Structure 1
Amino acid sequence: MNFWETITGSDLTREYKAFEVRAQALPADHRAAWEEIKCHLFPYGDFTGRNLMPILDSALGLLEETAADGQSIHEVLGDDVKGFCTAMAGGEGARSYRDRWREQLNRNVARKLNRLGG
């Protein structure tokens, strides 16, 4: 990965498109689970989403393996796809982008208030 790819995110776009090509080969129920997994994982991403790429790769790999073994999606993920995604992202209490933005806003407000009061 070169500097330009890092700045523009073209490496992420290329990798994400490769994920989608792989996902198209999955059976319908596994593809639906893939879409749901993506929706539940994106809140845990950083600004670029670069931190999610290994997690998405692992989740897609799991879906590919279980589809090849003939397992149903409910055997693999159960009924709690959101809980599965939370566990993959770092467990309950893992910081999402909202948490990071809230902390940044609180720091900025506290800094401004300290300047006004001090």
Structure 2
Amino acid sequence: MSIQDIIEGKKQWRAHVARVKALPPDYQIVYKEMQKYLFKVGPVDLPDGPLLPGIVDFFEEGVAAGKGVLELIGDDVAAFCDDLIKDSPTYADVYQESISGESGTAAK
């Protein structure tokens, strides 16, 4: 990874954070809780993948439609997040695969 890649990554992250801050307060709270949960559960492709920007896109569409955040995702934020990542390998899957000695099981 070059310095240019790091700088570009920081620019993208700052633009992402600015989009989150532009959301209404209730959306921001739910997004931050989702982000904490997803970083804890750990989908392998979370840092580089389209999941977090996709959530912001989804929330921006909800705001434009005049819907509340809980109308979009329901009352259980963790269950919504689990549905988003159900087909994605997590760090727990990779760890389980490494200790069991099996290959190919983390790809579900």
Q: TM-score, normalised by structure 2?
A: 0.75
Match of 2:48 in 1: 50
Identity among equivalent positions (%) equals 25
In structure 1, the gaps of 5 or more residues are: 108-118
1:32 counterpart = 2:29: yes
Rounded to whole Å, the distance in 2 between the matches of 1:5 and 1:81 is 36
RMSD: 2.6
Match of 2:82 in 1: 86
In structure 2, the gaps of 5 or more residues are: 102-108
Structure possessing the higher radius of gyration over alpha carbons: 1
Rounded to whole Å, the distance in 2 between the matches of 1:47 and 1:33 is 21
Rounded to whole Å, the distance in 1 between the matches of 2:8 and 2:85 is 21
Match of 1:103 in 2: 97
1:72 counterpart = 2:106: no
